[in-house]
Structure 1
Amino acid sequence: MKFAKVFALTAIGIMVLVLSGCGNTIRGVGRDTANAVDATQDAAVTVERSTY
């Protein structure tokens, strides 16, 4: 009985760590995507200004 409780608590702890890692990864992907959009927009403005 005691082994089952320890196993359950360990499993819950591991799941919490894994899910927090996923959250950080998703947040990082969002930042990378936002940076790529900003860079693309800056490049478009540069091209537009160079054609005048």
Structure 2
Amino acid sequence: MSRITAFILVALAIAASACNTVQGLGKDIERGGQAIEKVAR
């Protein structure tokens, strides 16, 4: 498993466990995507 895939899975797990609403989940996923974009640059 590549590091990026592992990072994505961990980020999704954290986002899913950290939010209480569907809207919160969307925001957490968006922040996770932004973090991945920063790492990819």
The TM-score with structure 1 as length reference comes to 0.40
Counterpart in 1 of 2:25? 18
Partner of residue 32 from structure 1, selected from 14, 28, 39: 39
Structure 1 segments unaligned to the other structure (5+ residues): 1-12, 35-52
The answer to which structure has the higher helix fraction is 1
Percent identical residues: 0
Structure 1 outlier segments of 4+, above 2 Å? none
Q: How many residues align?
A: 22
Larger Rg belongs to: 1
Structure 2 segments unaligned to the other structure (5+ residues): 1-19
The TM-score with structure 2 as length reference comes to 0.50
- Greater length-normalized contact order (CA 8 Å, ≥ 6 residues apart): 2
Please provide the CA RMSD for this pair.
1.4
